[in-house]
A and B are shown apart, each in its own frame.
Chain A
Amino acid sequence: MSWLVLLHAVVGVAILLAASHLGRWAFGVGAVPMVASLGYVAANAGDVADGGATDDRLSWVAGLDLTLDLRFDGFGLLMLLIISGIGVAIMAYGASYFSPSARTGRIAGLLVLFSGSMVGLVLSDSLLAVYVFWELTSITSWLLIGTNDTDPRARAGALHALMVTGAGGLAMLAGFVVLGQAAGTYSLSGIVADPPTGGSVGVALGLVLVGIVTKSAQYPTHAWLPGAMVAPTPVSAYLHSATMVKAGIYLAARLAPAFGPVGAWRPAVIAIGLVTMLAGGLRALRQHDLKLLLAMGTISQLGFMLVLVGAGEPEATAAGCVLLLSHALFKAALFLVVGIVDHEVGTRDRRELCGFGPGWGPVKAITVISAASMAGLPPLVGFVAKESAYEAFVHEGAWGPVVLAGLVAGSALTIAYSVRFATTVVARPADGAAEVLAPGRWFVAPAAVLAALTVAGGLFVAVLVEPVVDAAAVVLDPAVGEVHLSLWHGLSAALALSLLTYAVGALLVAGRSAVARAQLVLRPRFGGEDAFVAVVRGLNIVAAQTTRVVQNGSLPIYMAVILLTAVVIPGGALVTYGEWPGWPRFADTPLQVLLAGTIVATATAASVVKRRFGAVILLGAVGYSMSLVFVVQGAPDLALTQFGVETLSIVVFMLVLRNLPARFEQRRPAIATWLRVLVATAVAVGIFAFAMVISGTRLPRTVAPELIERSLPEAEGRNVVNVVLVDFRGLDTLGEISVLVAAGVGVVALARAGRRPNVEVEEVGE
């Protein structure tokens, strides 16, 4: 099945490359991998019907044991149906929605790449692969939200979404690593089958939950989702209602059955989900922009889903699967309707829309059906989802009633905003209002198909929905058993709760002006968007302050910090662990005494000389004497290198000195001089002590003899120093020369930046 992910990637990149030539065909080509994915599902559905799974292991670097583990099971089937099914509808719709241009081709290509990332996400069995695909969906989402890149709101919305979901993804990665270490495997199915225990697992789950909450737009990180509505409507319909925001729900569903009872997972997930469901519903009732209304409704429904799949209870998990499916159908259809309205009328503000005349019949029918499914009315699939959700929590003893109260309140709000949405679209045109041209047949068709599925899924729930949900739920939680879905369960507690929901919903609709007034008063003054802005601003301030303290521009202070760090940290270790080895023999040869004397004399002279030029020459003398010491000690490689480095240092010093005054400044206060002497002495003493202790410490076994022994037979070299550099520790050398390259580029960039006053330096930031 790895070919499925690859096909998406290849087709997506091909569309991006040929964007300007394809025109509308971009969407046709883009639908190919999605249809292929549906075909794969149809062909392999039999294998995964009873909790079975197909594994596919793609090995890409055998030497490093890197593999891509994919696993297709019942829940993957459900997700693939949503991702690819809605994807085909979006592609068909996009061909009518967008006028052909290079930018249109780019959107089509990115949608395919996004779809491929989602497919990879739901098929990955390795936590790390899940993370990679997770971030790929964040990145493609960022590019798609920012499609209209000349609009600052689009850029801000895209960045907000990327920062929140990306940061959540990083937390999740940390959680995955802890989880993987605790379990001894990164296989998702392996971890769920045999869940690790221990204190670290709680921390890991908390971190993973951060990823889930941010990705699925749960409170309090939900604010990016309304901001993402600046994207073209097909993008919003696909990414931000049907698929990407469900990635968090997907992961919660995978983990919850195994980890539901662990620590605070269940109460945390249920609390977050219920708050999100209620707050999202309330905010949806405040919106005038139909698209924002749907976005808030999506947040609310995502909260609902998180409660269901995150609880880790078998029945709730199954109900969550039904809701996943039904939500994708009705919400995508409603988004497509908003796109049609926006496209034909030019606005989606319900105060400016004044009804639609003849020809809009199909659109109105789609709206009524989908909104009714959203509100949970029979005989639609949304009703089945809500009934089974109630049913799941009726049997829970202690916390069931609390959850049920929240779900009923949230569902009543859902009814209220569904009515608010539907009445706007269904309204007849006012007398004398300008006639709005009806949308074309092919423009409406994709939404019509989705609405038809909503009806069929309700009427023939036992045939169409039950097998899919059954396969999905069993794989999530073997305790689920047989799933039975039907429109009529008899007179049950769930039905009573449904009736109660309708009654409260009807009250909310009837008293909508009172509700609106109450909302105006009770509206929170500080929303999620403000919180995000405050966090970003706070980060900027902290960064600016830190830079001001750490990088204050004083060269002597930088030097003092670096040198004292170099003394204090090893010095601390010396005092704690080191043993004074005693004074060594004074000298081996008279030559050493001579060289040491030269070094001391020239170094002392360099520190007191008045002219910079003289100081450089004296420093060079110190360096050359050092290389002679290496010669005497029998280290020719070291001596050669030291000699070369010293020569070139002097050359570079000379180059720089041409721009500096000939003499050192002498006007500093005496205290500063003494401070310098103090620091210099501390460094001298510290390094001396360090060198003495290190050379006196003889480990029982060092690596040197082993390296010398292995040098010729393994690396074909007799110069062990070079063999170590280019072979045994070659990767270190590679790292070092990378640093050299970076330093070289930096030196040139700095020198040139300071040299060209006639070139305008663009101000970065504020």
Chain B
Amino acid sequence: MSRSPIMDTTAQLVFHSALVLSLYLLFAGHNQPGGGFVGGLVAAAAVAVHYVAGGIDDVRSLSRLRPWTILGGGLVLASLAAISPLVGGGSVMESGALEADLPVLGHVKVTSTLLFDTGVYAVVVGLMLMVFEAVGEEAEPERRP
């Protein structure tokens, strides 16, 4: 299997636009269709395009974070987001909202559940990376001398 320049270029194009789309889904999810789970799926699909173009090595070169770090980090983030209200005397999974007027973006409202949703996002992406790590390597010997 040799690298195809068409696939490489397409992968670069698709990858970044898909990542932006996934982030949009993540942030918009609370009010529009979307959310952390769907966002994570789209991001994972973007990674899959890279895999198709360049195999597991390309996927690994995308980030220095290892798959298990992303996977575990996501769970830790979501758990922290879930129990953090306890510190202030609230109950588990209690949510709050923060509103602000930012330059460029305009009026922005962020809820604390976004943190939780980001954790879900990271878990989904991490899981897909784990799958590539687990079964994605098997075709390698054909390419290596």
Residue positions of A touching B, CB distance < 8 A:
61-64, 636-637, 640-641, 644-645, 647-648, 651-652, 655-656, 658-659, 715-719, 721-723, 725-727, 730-731, 733-734, 737-738, 740-741, 743-745, 747-748, 750-752, 755
Nearest CB in chain A to that of B111: its residue: A716
- Given A648-B44, A718-B30, A731-B93, A737:B131 Cβ within 8 A: no
B35 and A715 contacting across the interface, CB-CB below 8 Å: no
Nearest CB in chain A to that of B121: its residue: A737
A-B contact count (CB 8 A): 153
Type the 1/0 row for B125-140, where 1 means its CB is closer than 8 Å to any CB of A: 0111011111111110
A659 to B48, CA, bound (A): 18
B34 and A734 contacting across the interface, CB-CB below 8 Å: no
B124 and A740 contacting across the interface, CB-CB below 8 Å: yes
Interface residue total, chain B, C-beta cutoff 8 A? 57
A733 to B119, CA, bound (A): 11
Instruction: List residues of chain B with CB within 8 A of the CB of A752.
Output: 134
In the assembled complex, how far is the CB of residue A648 from the closest CB belonging to chain B, in whole angstroms?
6
B61 at the interface (CB under 8 A from A): no
- Supplied contacts A63-B86, A717-B31, A741-B71, 7 more A-B pairs, CB within 8 Å: A637-B38, A640-B38, A652-B131, A719-B30, A719-B31, A738-B75, A744-B127
- Given A726-B120, A727-B95, A731-B92, A744:B131 Cβ within 8 A: yes
Instruction: List residues of chain B with CB within 8 A of the CB of A755.
Output: 137-138
Instruction: List residues of chain A with CB within 8 A of the CB of B68.
Output: 744-745, 748
B41 and A658 contacting across the interface, CB-CB below 8 Å: no
Instruction: List residues of chain A with CB within 8 A of the CB of B103.
Output: none
Nearest CB in chain A to that of B32: its residue: A719
Instruction: List residues of chain B with CB within 8 A of the CB of A740.
Output: 71, 123-124, 127
Type the 1/0 row for B68-93, where 1 means its CB is closer than 8 Å to any CB of A: 10011011001100100010011111
In the assembled complex, how far is the CB of residue A65 from the closest CB belonging to chain B, in whole angstroms?
11
Instruction: List residues of chain A with CB within 8 A of the CB of B109.
Output: 716
Instruction: List residues of chain B with CB within 8 A of the CB of A717.
Output: 30-31, 111, 113
Nearest CB in chain A to that of B127: its residue: A744
B38 and A737 contacting across the interface, CB-CB below 8 Å: no
User: Contacting A648 at CB < 8 Å: which of B45, B91, B97, B134?
Assistant: B45
Nearest CB in chain A to that of B99: its residue: A716
A61 and B86 contacting across the interface, CB-CB below 8 Å: yes
Instruction: List residues of chain A with CB within 8 A of the CB of B15.
Output: none
B75 and A730 contacting across the interface, CB-CB below 8 Å: no
Can you list 13 A-B pairs with a CB-CB distance of less than 8 A? Answer: A637-B33, A641-B37, A652-B135, A655-B135, A659-B135, A659-B138, A716-B30, A717-B113, A719-B29, A725-B120, A727-B93, A737-B78, A744-B71
In the assembled complex, how far is the CB of residue A143 from the closest CB belonging to chain B, in whole angstroms?
29
A694 to B145, CA, bound (A): 58
Nearest CB in chain A to that of B36: its residue: A726
A747 and B134 contacting across the interface, CB-CB below 8 Å: yes
Give 4 closest A-B pairs by Cβ, nearest first: A644-B41, A751-B134, A744-B130, A636-B33
B111 and A744 contacting across the interface, CB-CB below 8 Å: no
A154 to B22, CA, bound (A): 57
A112 to B64, CA, bound (A): 45
A656 to B74, CA, bound (A): 26
Instruction: List residues of chain B with CB within 8 A of the CB of A733.
Output: 78, 116, 120
A730 and B113 contacting across the interface, CB-CB below 8 Å: yes
A164 to B126, CA, bound (A): 42
Nearest CB in chain B to that of A728: its residue: B93
Instruction: List residues of chain A with CB within 8 A of the CB of B34.
Output: 637, 640, 719, 722
A725 to B114, CA, bound (A): 12
Instruction: List residues of chain B with CB within 8 A of the CB of A721.
Output: 33, 35
- Given A63-B86, A641-B41, A651:B48 Cβ within 8 A: yes
In the assembled complex, how far is the CB of residue B35 from the closest CB belonging to chain A, in whole angstroms?
4
A717 to B97, CA, bound (A): 10
B35 and A744 contacting across the interface, CB-CB below 8 Å: no
Instruction: List residues of chain A with CB within 8 A of the CB of B130.
Output: 744-745, 747-748
B93 and A737 contacting across the interface, CB-CB below 8 Å: no
Nearest CB in chain A to that of B83: its residue: A734
In the assembled complex, how far is the CB of residue A64 from the closest CB belonging to chain B, in whole angstroms?
8
